[in-house]
Structure 1
Amino acid sequence: MSTPVPPPAPDDPLARERAHLVSSRSALRAMREDAEALDIADVTANWVNAAVLQRQIEDRVKALADLSGTPLFFGRLDYLHAPGAEAAEGAGGERFYIGRRHVHDAAGDPMVIDWRAPVSQPFYRASPKDPMDIGLRRRFGYTGGDLTAYEDEHLSDPAEAAATSRLLQREIERPRVGPMRDIVATIQPEQDEIVRAGLSGSVCVQGGPGTGKTAVGLHRVAYLLYAHRERLARTGTLVVGPNRSFLHYIEQVLPALGELTVRQATVDDLVAHVEVRGTDDPATAAVKGDARMALVLRRALYAGITPPAEPVVVVRGSRHWRLPAHEVAEIVGGLLERDIRYGAAREALPQRIAHAVLVRMERAGEAPDDRVQDAVARNTAVKAAVKAVWPQADPAKLVHRLLSDPDHLAEHAEGVFDADEQKALLWARPARSVRSARWSPADAVLIDEAADLIERTPSLGHVVLDEAQDLSPMQYRAVGRRCTTGSVTVLGDLAQGTTPWATRSWAEALAHLGKADAMVEELTAGFRVPTDVIAYASRLLPHIAPGLAPVESVRENPGFFEVRAATGTDDVTGACRELLAREGSVGLIAADARVPELAGALAAAGLAPLAPGEETTRESRLTLVPASLAKGLEYDYVVLDEPGAVVDGEPDERTGLRRLYVCLTRAVSGLIVTHAAALPAQLG
């Protein structure tokens, strides 16, 4: 039952908009009730179909949830004429409310239009120079879930339309409490172009801190699911992030947009063929992550194929059918020339041998059929020949032998890795078996590469790869295998690469992914980091990424920024307490080695911090963040402890300065830098 809405006063626009919000929420509730009331008892023919349909209905009900505190619509478009033919809902002079999901009334007429629909596009792209047939664009302001303000842009009046939107600025600068939220109300034209790029093409987004690249990638997934739902429902979508804390931080964005089926994972999750219990030093991890390892693995795998030494003799009744060794060798050579997966070729080999035997049978006057060929392929002699010539391969055993047998590695790495690199690859204490091996994350990636050489990795329809600048070439290959027939959205910032193998150029990274023709876009407008903070952090750019342009903050509020000398941890905890007096979340970021000491100091001060990725609340707003986990996270206010220790905590100065750049740019509203030791000279 919908709630009757009293008619608003004719001269009160805000009251009319509030009445439309009440009506829209009522209509959404009716849509959800209709979905919940669906009876599928007589629709499906079997229990499997019934289970699938019931799951679809449950997902539909979840997608129609009216989230508390989340505006149902955030904008309005008044068209001058009928929208284009692609927007069938459009009519001359019609008005559309733009929101996170489509809502219609009992008659099926739209009350809120999905932000991804073609008719919604001018909300993000219309301008005085190109009004896109929009007479008025209205933005709405909310306090909690209550509509409290509106702001109009008359695009036919350049003077009025050129003014900065106060509501837009307020939404961008709104305090961050809780997990990452969507940006559907604030998507900018350059971001919208990336979001709405077609499914067939891959996109790489280079963006500095606060340019919204992560949000753009997530909203691109939501858009593609809207525009190509049936195709992506079959092929699947995946978001790959750098760590679990990051994935937990972003996990609510897509559900808030009504998308519940997108899988999220780290690269380690994708390659989890073995239990990872070991670690590598940076030099060893860099060699294992080198793209040349793919060639070594291929050599080692195919070296197991040996030329046949004996003919294959198949006994059928009283007849013996003999296939000479040279003919078997020709069959093996033909399969190798086809360059199909090792496992697929091995499965094809007995059928090829059986076919050659059948040819002999036919020449002798017999008339064998397909059943005879299948029987010959299963013959003991044929099986023995296949086992001897093309042995079954296990990816973990393949990698185990390479990393534990110096002679075996030298044989297959000759001309690829020099002696020092081969020494770095070998385990210091070789494991006796696959099960007892202390596999490292880099080893798991090698096993994944070997597994793909044997059996093709299934491809998804679209993959989003975030914080990509930190991946090794072999990790890029692992992700690329998951989208060989699909597309990818790569998100990253070359200046924030903090691994020894960090990406040097996007062209190189895209080649490893198998997407060399991907379009590269650069975002330089900063919406998250305040002007004074990004200006301070940008002092490091000439030392860590000389070719990149600094981010230009578009925020009117310069933010709160201060560098303080500290004499001990009391000064650090005092800075945290000072910032907690303000509205919003607070992050204390420190070098990993200093985290235990600071955790103790916070506890002594009566401040109980959260761990990275844990959801902040109104009551618990302080998070203690090791520098190694800060990437991708954001807080309203940040206290950065001892920048020099952050730099010193990395293997080399360049990597340390990049880590410092990441830590300096996590603040949304303000930053306090505390230090007892000297600041890095590069900060000026």
Structure 2
Amino acid sequence: MAGESAGLEARRQRGLADAHRRQADDAERRAEQFEIAERTESETARILAPLAGIGYHLLADRRWPGSRTAQVDMVVVGRGGVFIVDTKAWREVAVHGDRITRGQEDVTDDIARLADLAYSTGAALADTGLAPNEVHAITALAGQRRMHARVASVDVLGVHDVIGHITKRGARLSASRVDEVLAALLQHFPVIGEQPDTAPQVVVPAPVLARSAPPAIAGNEGADDVHTNEAHDDELVEKLLDGVLEAPIEEWMAFLDPAQAKLVRRSFNGPARIRGAAGTGKTVVGLHRAAYLARATGSRVLFTTYIATLPAVLESLLARLAPDMVSRVDFMGVHAFSKRLLDERGIAYRVPGREARLAFDDAWNAIRASSPLRSARFTRRYWEDEVKHVIKGRGLTRFEEYADLSRVGRKHALPLETRQAVWDLYEAYATGLRKRGGTDWEDVVLMARDALRERPLDRYGAVIVDEAQDLSCAMVSMLHTLVGDRQDGLTLIGDGQQTIYPGGYTLSELGISLAGRGVVLDLNHRNTAEVLEFAKQMVADDQFVDIEGVDGVGDAVSAVTRSGSVPTVHRATSAGDHDAAMVARIRQVLRLVGTGHGDVGVLTATNQHADEVSAALRAAGLPVVSLQRYDGRTVDAVKVGTIKRAKGLEFKQVLLAHVRERLLAEQTGQPSEADRERRELDRRELYVGMTRARDGLWVGVRR
């Protein structure tokens, strides 16, 4: 037909024209997006530029590792850690639980990609010794201020809030560590367009901002003027100063040094142990390791210890350093875990109460005056500890087991006749407890252990035990049952020098072999040299059998990184004199820069003395919080409690109140083995209390 070919060609050309218009429109939209990205990223760079003036390095427009085209807007590294900053020109942003939306669009996956990048970057920097929690991901919302949300471990901030967020962490890395991390980051995040074999380009940002400002960001009309010189306004100056001031003690308690950071990621092909003297960071390594194992394996982790109040504190600390993992780690004391297991299995028991004390009263009062247990060289408390820690702590059921037991941790050798008398006391106590229908805490643990042996619990991929030396044989056996000898299953953390409970055990009794999977930490970051030297006097002649079955005098410290004032000892002439001096000391240390009420701990040997201290401080107008109620969150109140409650905790300033004079003096005369054992335990407890002090120590002595 005439004209048909021309018509076909016309339609083809129009089709091409339409396609070109669509391509042009797409290109125009992409160009607009890149222009917005250019403006928003430039805005972020301008706002963060003052960081260069206080020692931070800003790496802009770096290539996303593993991608040829994707880029990372900004990587900031300095004394406060590593911060990966991704700028978004998002409007109508809303957070719904663990999801984030932009208008009607769910953009959680974009945030999750940044979280994955931070995690992989932490792994890439592991060889530098950087702790996993020192790499942070930030989504900066262009033109926004006074906004902070957290999604998938990423901090979503208004761009004007980023600099304050970075500086508030203070100085966490040494200058040499920053240099090492920077060198690794330059390799990990190459410049866009840089070939892999090209030497990394060092970008040093100019601390002086450009005179001219780029045009306003589209869609931000009506917002605060984001192009004023942020480096000079009062708000920015205040944020920079806040970053210089010392953080509360809770921030310090999550600090890792490079050797500790490497240990966090170390893999062991069976049960392992981390030990070291006080102040070497064992607990914080365990805390970071819990988060690492939960993230790396995807399984649940149990973090447990003997001290009932410590798990809540550690859970709060983990919420600071790895909030995305806190729901995957169960923090609970050994007794709390035992109770929960029995409740879940429907196994009947009575919560231990006064029945145990009354049953032991009856058993003790029935002992004849001629019994070897009535010897003046021993006390009722000594035999009560023997039953609780040595016999029931192991779950012994036959006298023959006890007759041949080495009794690790007890100094006084017992002849067979005395052991038979102790066994009779134990049986009388057990019979009286059953008649009263009661149980003690040792029974609760043994029942839980037996329940797990009968039917294992497949809930945890790893178990971390802090202060393992304070647990009993039965407790460790129960926890070992949860994970067996699997890779990275059981991590025992502790220091035999800090054993403050009578009795003891060895891992060989439980059939647990470490087979070279033991690590010793020997660098003390916590205490000043003066505090540590003073504390070591308490355990200078102390000898003990470690849980690995080796006689020892405590692990040595290779170096102490900090120094300070010499500890103060106040020998009070009266209760009033003691309390007045204690209050004066607290008021003195509160005048130190960076020390608040919540950085001060007053520790005692007994709950009664803790109550007396609390009353004296309140009467002086000082705010007080009991360690029994302290949960690890920053609080503006002096912390008061027993030394046992303070295990695993740290304070900038420690005051030991109502210390007995005889514990500081040289021992005289010929004490019995039982008395010597008790004195060693009490002095170890003082050592534990003294080494809770980071910056300063005061000891109030009562004659």
Is the CA contact 2:168–2:243 (under 8 Å) kept in the aligned structure 1? Answer: no
TM-score when normalising by structure 1:
0.58
Secondary structure, counterpart of 2:503 in structure 1: coil
Give the residue type in structure 2 aligned to 1:463. V
Following superposition, the deviation at residue 652 of structure 1 comes to: 0.9
What is the CA deviation profile of residues 19-59 of structure 1, one whole-angstrom value per residue up to 9, with x for unaligned ones? 656971646998978962589xxxxxxxxxxxxxx9xx999
What is the CA deviation profile of residues 100-146 of structure 1, one whole-angstrom value per residue up to 9, with x for unaligned ones? 4567999xxxxxxx99xxxxxxxxxxxxxxxxxxxxxxxx9954268
TM alignment of 1:330-479, pairs within 5 A: 418-428=419-429, 430=431, 436-458=436-458, 460-479=460-479
Match of residue 329 from structure 2: 262
- Structure 2 unmatched ranges of 5 or more: 1-35, 60-73, 77-82, 126-131, 142-151, 154-163, 184-241, 343-348, 361-380, 406-415, 544-551, 665-674
Secondary structure, counterpart of 1:610 in structure 2: strand
- Structure 1 residues 549, 515: CA separation in 2 closer, same or farther (over 3 Å shift)? closer
- Structure 1 residues 493, 61: CA separation in 2 closer, same or farther (over 3 Å shift)? farther
Secondary structure, counterpart of 2:254 in structure 1: coil
Q: Distance in 1 between matches of 2:332 and 2:109?
A: 21
Q: 1:526 aligns with which of 524, 534, 538?
A: 524
Give the residue type in structure 1 aligned to 2:525. F
Is the CA contact 1:496–1:659 (under 8 Å) kept in the aligned structure 2? Answer: yes
TM alignment of 1:112-511, pairs within 5 A: 143-144=167-168, 151=175, 174-178=246-250, 181-183=253-255, 186-189=256-259, 191-198=260-267, 200-229=269-298, 232=299, 236-255=300-319, 256-257=321-322, 258-260=324-326, 261-272=328-339, 273=342, 274=349, 275-277=351-353, 278=356, 283-290=383-390, 296-297=396-397, 418-428=419-429, 430=431, 436-458=436-458, 460-484=460-484, 486=486, 487-503=489-505, 508-509=506-507
Secondary structure, counterpart of 2:541 in structure 1: helix
Is the CA contact 1:241–1:267 (under 8 Å) kept in the aligned structure 2? Answer: yes
Q: Distance in 1 between matches of 2:701 and 2:399?
A: 50
Q: Distance in 1 between matches of 2:655 and 2:395?
A: 46
| 1:554 and 2:560 correspond | yes
Match of residue 590 from structure 1: 604
TM-score when normalising by structure 2:
0.57
Is the CA contact 1:177–1:621 (under 8 Å) kept in the aligned structure 2? Answer: no
Q: Distance in 1 between matches of 2:444 and 2:295?
A: 35
Worse overlay, 437-446 or 641-650:
641-650
Q: Distance in 2 between matches of 1:473 and 1:11?
A: 58
Give the residue type in structure 1 aligned to 2:657. D
Match of residue 227 from structure 2: none
Q: Distance in 2 between matches of 1:559 and 1:611?
A: 27
Is the CA contact 1:498–1:658 (under 8 Å) kept in the aligned structure 2? Answer: yes
Q: Distance in 2 between matches of 1:650 and 1:601?
A: 33
| 1:14 and 2:52 correspond | yes
Q: Distance in 1 between matches of 2:700 and 2:542?
A: 22
Secondary structure, counterpart of 2:540 in structure 1: helix
TM alignment of 1:51-70, pairs within 5 A: none
Secondary structure, counterpart of 1:577 in structure 2: helix
Is the CA contact 2:274–2:491 (under 8 Å) kept in the aligned structure 1? Answer: yes
- Structure 1 unmatched ranges of 5 or more: 40-53, 66-71, 78-85, 89-96, 107-113, 116-139, 159-169, 298-408, 678-684
Following superposition, the deviation at residue 641 of structure 1 comes to: 1.7
Give the residue type in structure 2 aligned to 1:269. A
Is the CA contact 1:201–1:518 (under 8 Å) kept in the aligned structure 2? Answer: no
- Structure 1 residues 661, 473: CA separation in 2 closer, same or farther (over 3 Å shift)? same
Residue identity over aligned pairs, in percent, reads: 19
What is the CA deviation profile of residues 487-521 of structure 1, one whole-angstrom value per residue up to 9, with x for unaligned ones? 21111111110111145xxxx23652734436111
Q: Distance in 1 between matches of 2:244 and 2:421?
A: 52
Give the residue type in structure 2 aligned to 1:609. V
Following superposition, the deviation at residue 291 of structure 1 comes to: 7.3
- Structure 1 residues 474, 8: CA separation in 2 closer, same or farther (over 3 Å shift)? closer
Q: 1:514 aligns with which of 512, 515, 520?
A: 512
Following superposition, the deviation at residue 570 of structure 1 comes to: 1.5
Please provide the CA RMSD for this pair.
Answer: 5.1
Match of residue 692 from structure 2: 666
Match of residue 209 from structure 2: none
Secondary structure, counterpart of 1:581 in structure 2: coil
Q: 1:653 aligns with which of 655, 666, 679?
A: 679
What is the CA deviation profile of residues 164-202 of structure 1, one whole-angstrom value per residue up to 9, with x for unaligned ones? xxxxxx99995544477432xx4322x234212215333
Following superposition, the deviation at residue 653 of structure 1 comes to: 0.6
- Structure 1 residues 438, 147: CA separation in 2 closer, same or farther (over 3 Å shift)? closer
What is the CA deviation profile of residues 609-630 of structure 1, one whole-angstrom value per residue up to 9, with x for unaligned ones? 1111515787723111212322
Q: Distance in 2 between matches of 1:11 and 1:454?
A: 63
Following superposition, the deviation at residue 289 of structure 1 comes to: 4.1
| 1:574 and 2:555 correspond | no
Q: Distance in 1 between matches of 2:685 and 2:89?
A: 46
Is the CA contact 1:580–1:621 (under 8 Å) kept in the aligned structure 2? Answer: no
Match of residue 626 from structure 1: 642
Secondary structure, counterpart of 2:269 in structure 1: coil
Q: Distance in 2 between matches of 1:33 and 1:535?
A: 52
Give the residue type in structure 2 aligned to 1:520. G
Following superposition, the deviation at residue 577 of structure 1 comes to: 2.2
Q: Distance in 1 between matches of 2:454 and 2:429?
A: 28
Is the CA contact 2:525–2:560 (under 8 Å) kept in the aligned structure 1? Answer: yes
Q: Distance in 2 between matches of 1:28 and 1:220?
A: 36
Give the residue type in structure 2 aligned to 1:265. M
Secondary structure, counterpart of 2:527 in structure 1: coil
What is the CA deviation profile of residues 374-401 of structure 1, one whole-angstrom value per residue up to 9, with x for unaligned ones? xxxxxxxxxxxxxxxxxxxxxxxxxxxx
Match of residue 24 from structure 1: 85
Following superposition, the deviation at residue 207 of structure 1 comes to: 1.5
- Structure 1 residues 520, 145: CA separation in 2 closer, same or farther (over 3 Å shift)? closer
Q: Distance in 2 between matches of 1:157 and 1:427?
A: 68
Q: Distance in 2 between matches of 1:172 and 1:11?
A: 17
Number of equivalenced pairs = 475
Following superposition, the deviation at residue 643 of structure 1 comes to: 3.0
- Structure 1 residues 539, 25: CA separation in 2 closer, same or farther (over 3 Å shift)? farther
Q: 2:99 aligns with which of 36, 55, 58?
A: 36
- Structure 1 residues 25, 513: CA separation in 2 closer, same or farther (over 3 Å shift)? farther
Q: Distance in 2 between matches of 1:635 and 1:444?
A: 33
Is the CA contact 2:527–2:560 (under 8 Å) kept in the aligned structure 1? Answer: no
Q: Distance in 1 between matches of 2:94 and 2:483?
A: 36
Following superposition, the deviation at residue 268 of structure 1 comes to: 0.6
- Structure 1 residues 154, 602: CA separation in 2 closer, same or farther (over 3 Å shift)? closer
Following superposition, the deviation at residue 271 of structure 1 comes to: 1.9
- Structure 1 residues 74, 540: CA separation in 2 closer, same or farther (over 3 Å shift)? farther
Following superposition, the deviation at residue 457 of structure 1 comes to: 4.7
Is the CA contact 2:249–2:650 (under 8 Å) kept in the aligned structure 1? Answer: no
Secondary structure, counterpart of 1:543 in structure 2: coil
Secondary structure, counterpart of 1:632 in structure 2: coil
- Structure 1 residues 296, 653: CA separation in 2 closer, same or farther (over 3 Å shift)? closer
Worse overlay, 600-609 or 191-200:
191-200
Q: 1:563 aligns with which of 553, 559, 569?
A: 569
Is the CA contact 2:499–2:684 (under 8 Å) kept in the aligned structure 1? Answer: yes
